[in-house]
Amino acid sequence: MIGMIMPELIKLYIRSVAIGFGIAAVFVGVLLWSGLGGLGDLVAGSSAGWLAVFMLWFMNGIVFAGVQFAYRIMSMAQRDDTPRGGMKIMDLQPVRVEATARKQNNAQRFVQRRR
């Protein structure tokens, strides 16, 4: 177990999580510094302000880490330049169809007279 090498995907995940939580720290710092909605003053004036900042950082860190990891995984995909499905363009031609009127029964005549 000591000599095992960490798989590349795990390294990628750990790097993405670190970057995501770093971005979250910058985001929360800018959010508090800008005073958006008086959030900085609210946190500074509360005895549990540090808990609010921690929760804000942690929850945003989870989101940003997930987005960072998804972006990195999606960017690893190979480009597929083959033609895709889509609608096939067909040469449509009009066709004549004979239509005959049906004989109306008494119930249909009654409905038409009531309108």
Block means of pLDDT (10 residues each) for the chain, 115 residues, are 76 94 96 88 89 95 96 85 72 85 69 63
Amino acid type, 83: P
Asked whether residue 103 is domain-assigned, the answer is no
Asked whether residue 86 is domain-assigned, the answer is no
Asked if residues 11 and 67 have their Cβ atoms less than 8 Å apart, the reply is: no
Asked whether residue 24 is domain-assigned, the answer is yes
Asked whether residue 26 is domain-assigned, the answer is yes
Residue 54: what pLDDT?
Answer: 96
Residue 67: what pLDDT?
Answer: 96
For residues 59, 62, 65, 70, the Cα torsion angle rounded to the nearest 10 degrees is -130
Q: Total structural domains in the chain?
A: 1
Residue 20: what pLDDT?
Answer: 96
Structure-token pair, residue 4: 């095992």
CA distance 26 to 61: 10
Asked whether residue 27 is domain-assigned, the answer is yes
Asked whether residue 34 is domain-assigned, the answer is yes
Residue 111: what pLDDT?
Answer: 65
Q: Which residues contact 24 (CB under 8 A, 6 or more apart)?
A: 57, 58, 60, 61, 63, 64, 65
Residue 68's domain spans which residues? 17-74
For 66-91, what is each residue's pLDDT tens digit? 999 999 998 888 777 776 777 777 78
Structure-token pair, residue 87: 């609608």
